[in-house]
Structure 1
Amino acid sequence: MTHTHLIGIGGTGLSAIAQVLLERGEVVSGSDRQSSPQSESVQAAGAKVTIGHAAENVTGADMVLRSSAVPDDNVEVQVALAANIPVVKRIDYFGDFLSDKNTIAIAGSHGKTTTSAMVAWMLTDLEIAPGFIVGGEVENLGKNATAGNSKYFVIEADEYDYMFWGISPEIAVVTNIEHDHPDCFPTKEIYATAFEGFADRITKSGVLILCLDDPGARGLSAYAKEKGIMVLSYSIENDQADYFANNYSPVPLAGYTFDVNKGNQKLTTASLQVPGKHNVLNALAALIIADIIGLDLISVAESLSKFTGAGRRFDILGEASSILIIDDYGHHPTEIKATLSATKVRYPNRRIWAVWQPHTFSRTLELLEAFGNSFVDADQVVITKVYAAREEAPATYSPEKLISAIDHENVF
C-alpha cells in the first residue's frame, strides 16, 4: 500500500483526495495549520491528521501532495525533498490518480461545482456508482468525494494554479470563461489561454462540451475545432446549438421547468429544484454527458428533478422572525448577480438584503467596475471586511473606494 502525506489536508481539495485514497485502501496522513470540518472528517475515516507542520509528520511517506497554498519553504516540503520523497501539487498528481478511469471533468469560471454535483448525483442515482471529487458537498449524498465502483470519475476541474492541466478527460465541460483569480492569471488573455491548455489535454477520442451563450466559451470552441477536438454546444439563447433548452418557466419556490432539444428533436422535459436560469445551463451540460454515455434521458431528467444542490450554493440555512437566510459562496460579479436574480425570481414578494464578503483584494480591485451592477436585484447591500486569504491589503484599496463603485443607493 502506498502512503501518501497531504500538506493542507484540511482544505476542500486535498481532503477530498484523502477520502478517495482511504476508500481505495491506501495509507493516508496529513497536516494543516488548524483543524477544520474537512480534516476532522478524514481523520474519522482513518487518516492520521496532525495540526501544525513538523519534520516528523512526513516519516514513512512514499509521496507528499501539497496544496497550492503551501509555500516552498514549508518544513515538511523541505524534509521530504531532502529524503528524496516526491513532492507534488495536484497538477502533477492527477495523472496517476485517474489513470484507470474514464474521467468527466467540469471546468469553468462559474457553475462548475453545481454542475459537478449534478453529474455525480445523476450517475449515483442511476446506480452507475461513479467516483467523484466536487468542490462542495453533494447535498443528496452528504459528501463531496468517493472512490466509486465504476469506470467513471467525475472531477471538478479547478483552473487555479493550472490544476486542471493535470487531467486528461474523456468528457470535458467548460461552463464559461470570464477573467478570475488575477493573482494567478494577471490578464484575461492569460486566463483564456489556461482553458486552451485544458482543452489540449482531452483524450483523442474525447469531447468538449461548451456553453454557446458565453463569449469566452465560444472563443474556446473556435480554438478546439481548429485543433480537431470534437465540440458539442449547449444554449438557452441560440437554437443553433447542438443542445438547446426552451419553453422554460419558473416553478414557485423551486427552479425552472424546460424542454431539452437536440437539433430539431425534443429529448425530454426537465424540472429543477435549484433556482436560476444559470442552473438550466448547468443541467443541460449534465444531460449532454448522460446522452454521450448512453443513458435514458427521461430517467436522467427524473434524477435531476431530485437534485437539491451543492454545499454553499444557494444554501438555505433557515428562517427566523420571517427572515430567510441563504448562504452562497459566489464571489465573482457574475455569480453574485446570478444568485440575486434567482433569489428575486424565487421570492418575488420579499425584500432582499445582500450581505457580501469580498474575496481577496486582488480579485476585488481587478473586477471593481464589474461589481458595480451586481447588486441590482438587492434592496439593501451590506459589505463586510475583505477575506484576504493569502494577501495583504494594498495601498490602492479602501472600503470607501469599494462602496463608491457599487451602483446602488442603499449600500453600507
Structure 2
Amino acid sequence: MHVHFVAVAGTGMGALAGLFKAAGHDVSGSDVSFYPPMGPALARWGVRLLTGFDPAHLDPRPDLVVIGNVCRPTNPEARAAIDGGMRVTTMAHALADHMLAGRSPLVVAGTHGKTTTSSMCAWILHEAGRDPGFLIGGLPKNFEASFRLPRSASSASDRRGLPLLGEAGAGRRRTPFVVEGDEYDTAFFEKTPKFWHYQPEVGVVTSMEHDHIDIYPDAASYEAAFRGFVERIPETELVVAAAHDPRVVELVSRSARAEVAWFALEGDDTHGRPPHWLAAPAEAGESGQSFDLYAGGVLAGRFALQMPGHHNVRNAIAAIAAAAQGFGVPLSTATTALAGFAGVRRRQDLLFEARGVRVYDDFAHHPTAVDETLRALRSRHPAGALWAVFEPRSATACRALHQEPYARAFEAADRVVLAPLGRPDIAAGERLDLDRLVRDIERGGKRAEAAASVDAIVTAIARDAREGDTIALLSNGAFGGIYEKLRGALSAGAR
C-alpha cells in the first residue's frame, strides 16, 4: 500500500511509519518540521518527507492515511483526507490492524516505567530466540531502532521452556509483539485511550498516578482509562501487576478477568496480595545492581542489572514475569539477557563526562519519576554533589497539580536548578509556582534556584560544578538545546 502519515515526526508516529516501511509499504509523511533525531531517522528508513500540512500531499491518493493524535480538527491535511472520503485511521488502529493481527501482543502500561519495561521484555524475548516484534516510545540501546518486525512466524511449538506459574495461555502463544501502551487519546475524532485497541494477551501494569491532565482532568477519569485496559484482557490471558501500588491493586483486583501475577520488592506493603514474583535488592554500585528473585516463594537465583535504582528492579521483575509466565521463557535465559541489557536512551543516560563532571539525561518529569531517578543516580555516585536540573514542560508538570510532591521529589539532590515553565500560557492560578517550589526545597536544606533561561543554567553549572559532581538533566523535551551547550561550556573549562 501507499500509506501516508499526517504528523509523522512524533516518536510514536515516526516509529510506526518506519515499521510500515520495513513491512514493504510505500510510506510518506508530513509535519511542520523534521528536526533530529526523528527527521534524519525517517529519511534513513526511506520515508518520503513533506513539510507542512497541505491537502496537496494527498495527491496521488494514498491507500491509507494515518492521522496523528496531535492533529486538531482544523488540520487542513487531516480534514481533506476525512472530507475526501479517503481510508483514514489512527496510530493505534493502524498498529493493531496491520502489525498485531495474528501475533501475541505483550502490552506494557503504567504511569512510570513503560519504556524501560517494554525494552526489557523485547530484549529477553529476543535473547530467548522468540524473534519478537516491538514498538517502543524510546530507543532501547540493545537494538538499532525503537521498532522491529517479527523476524519469523514462530508458533507455540517453537517455545523454549515452560511457564513457571500457571498456564495463562503460554503454551499456545504465537510470535510475540511488544508494545509500550500509551494512555493518551487516539485522535481528535476518537477520544479513547490508545492502549484500549492493542488486544493484549499479556498485559503489564507497572504503576498508576494521575498524569496527562490535559487529557484526564481528574484521577477518576485517568483510572477509568486503565480500568478499560485491564478489562479488555481476556480471561484466558495474563495480567502482570504491581502489588506495591495501592491504586493498581484496587483497580486490577476489581477489573481483571485474566489470571493476575503480582510482583513486588521485599519489604513492600502488597496490600494483601501475595506476590508471585518477589525481588530482594542486593548489591549496588557504579556498575549497576543485583537482586535475588523468588518465583512462587522459591529462590530462582541472583540477577544483575547495569542500571541503578529500585524502580529498575521493579521494571525487571515485571519483564521477567511477562516473558517467563506469559511466554515460557526460561529464567536462566532471562538472567543472561538482563545482565546484558544496556538500557534506554534518555533514561539515566550518561551523555558525557567533562572536567570530571558526569552529565546524565533523563526523561523524568512526574515527581515520582524525578525522585526515583535522583535516588538511583545517588546510589550509583555517592560521592560528589548531585545536581538536579529540571525543566517543567509537560501539561501536567507545568500545573500546580503536583506542587507539594515536587517539593519532596528533589530530596536526593544537593543542588536544584529549575528552568522556566515550558508552557507559560497556563493561567496563573493553575500554574506551578517555581518561586514557592524553590522556597520549599530550601526548607529541606538544599540549595535551589529558579533560573531565568537555559543559558543561565549552563553558566551556573560551568561556574560551580566540581570534579566528581553528577548533573541530572530532567526533561521530557529538547530542554532548549542545553545538552550541547553544557558540553561546550564544560569542555571549554577543561582546557
Give me the TM-score of the superposition, normalised by structure 2: 0.79
Alignment partner of 1:262 is 2:312: no
Contact 2:21 2:45 in 1 (8 A): yes
Q: How much has 1:342 moved relative to structure 2?
A: 0.5
Which letter maps to 1:384?
A: A
Q: Report the residue type matching 2:237 in the other structure.
A: G
Alignment-derived partner of residue 448 in structure 2? 411
Distance (Å, rounded) in 1 between the aligned partners of 2:293 and 2:416: 37
Query: Match for residue 464 of structure 2?
Result: none
> Which SS does the other structure have where 1:135 is aligned?
coil
Query: Where in structure 1 do 4 or more consecutive aligned residues deviate above 6 Å?
Result: none
Q: Matches of 1:322 and 1:262 in 2, distance apart?
A: 42
Q: Deviations over 1:312-331 (max 9, x none)?
A: 00000011111100000010
For 1:400, the equivalent position in structure 2 comes to 435
Instruction: Say if 2:238 and 2:259, in contact at 8 Å, map to a contact too.
Output: yes
1:185 matched to 2:216 = yes
| 1:215 shift after superposition | 1.4
Cα pair 2:282 2:292 within 8 Å, conserved: no
SS in 1 for 2:146: strand
Q: Is the 8 A contact 1:183 1:363 kept in 2?
A: no
Counterparts in 2 of 1:166 and 1:297: CA distance versus 1, 3 Å: same
Question: How far is the alpha carbon of 1:39 from its aligned partner?
Answer: 2.7
Q: 1:146 aligns with which of 128, 137, 148?
A: 148
Residues 213-228 of structure 1 aligned to structure 2 (within 5 Å): 213-225=244-256, 228=257
Amino acid in the other structure paired with 2:209: E
- On the 8 A contact 2:27/2:47 being kept in 1, the answer is yes
Matches within 5 A, 1:12-411: 12-36=11-35, 37-59=37-59, 60-97=61-98, 98-150=100-152, 151-161=175-185, 162-225=193-256, 228-236=257-265, 237-238=267-268, 240-246=274-280, 248-292=281-325, 293-364=327-398, 365-388=400-423, 392-396=425-429, 397=431, 398-406=433-441, 408=444, 409-411=446-448
- Cα distance in structure 1, aligned partners of 2:19 and 2:293: 34
- 1:89 Cα offset (Å): 2.5
Check the 8 A contact 1:11/1:38 in 2, yes or no.
yes
State whether residues 360 and 386 of structure 1, in contact with CA within 8 Å, keep that contact through their aligned partners in structure 2: no
Per-residue deviation, 1:203:
3.1
CA shift for structure 1 position 395: 2.4
Cα distance, 1:18–1:91 mapped onto 2, change above 3 Å: closer
1:188–1:368 distance in 2 versus 1, CA, 3 Å:
same
Sort the Cα spacing of 1:63 and 1:392 in 2 relative to 1 into closer, same or farther, 3 A: farther
Structure 1, unaligned stretches of length 5 or more?
none
**Secondary structure of 1:180's aligned partner:** coil
SS in 1 for 2:195: helix
Amino acid at match of 1:53: F
**Structure of greater relative contact order (alpha carbons < 8 Å, 6+ residues apart):** 2
C-alpha distance in 1 between matches for 2:147 and 2:65? 20
What's the TM-score once normalised by structure 1's chain length? 0.94
- Distance of 1:195 and 1:26 partners within structure 2: 33
- CA shift in 2, pair 1:307/1:187, >3 Å: same
Q: Distance in 2 between matches of 1:380 and 1:300?
A: 38
Q: Is the 1:107–1:158 Cα contact (8 Å) retained in structure 2?
A: yes
User: Partner of 2:475 in structure 1?
Assistant: none
**SS of residue matched to 2:135:** strand
What is the identity, as a one-letter code, of the residue corresponding to 2:40? E
Identify which range, 290-299 or 170-179, moves more after superposition: 290-299
Is contact 1:243–1:261 with CA below 8 Å preserved after alignment? yes
Q: Which amino acid aligns with 1:294?
A: G
Q: Distance in 2 between matches of 1:296 and 1:342?
A: 29
Deviation at 1:78, TM superposition (A): 1.2
Deviates more, 1:318-327 or 1:53-62: 53-62
- How much does 1:109 deviate? 0.3
Shift of 1:142: 2.8
Percentage identity across aligned positions?
31
Compared with structure 1, are the counterparts of its residues 142 and 57 closer, same or farther at alpha carbon in structure 2 (3 Å cutoff)?
A: same
Three-state SS of the structure 1 residue aligned to 2:117 is: helix
Letter paired with 1:84: G
Q: Cα distance, 1:405 vs. partner?
A: 4.7
Using a 3 Å threshold, how does the CA distance of structure 1 residues 318 and 58 change in structure 2: closer, same or farther? same
Q: Which runs of 5+ in 2 are unaligned?
A: 153-174, 186-192, 450-495
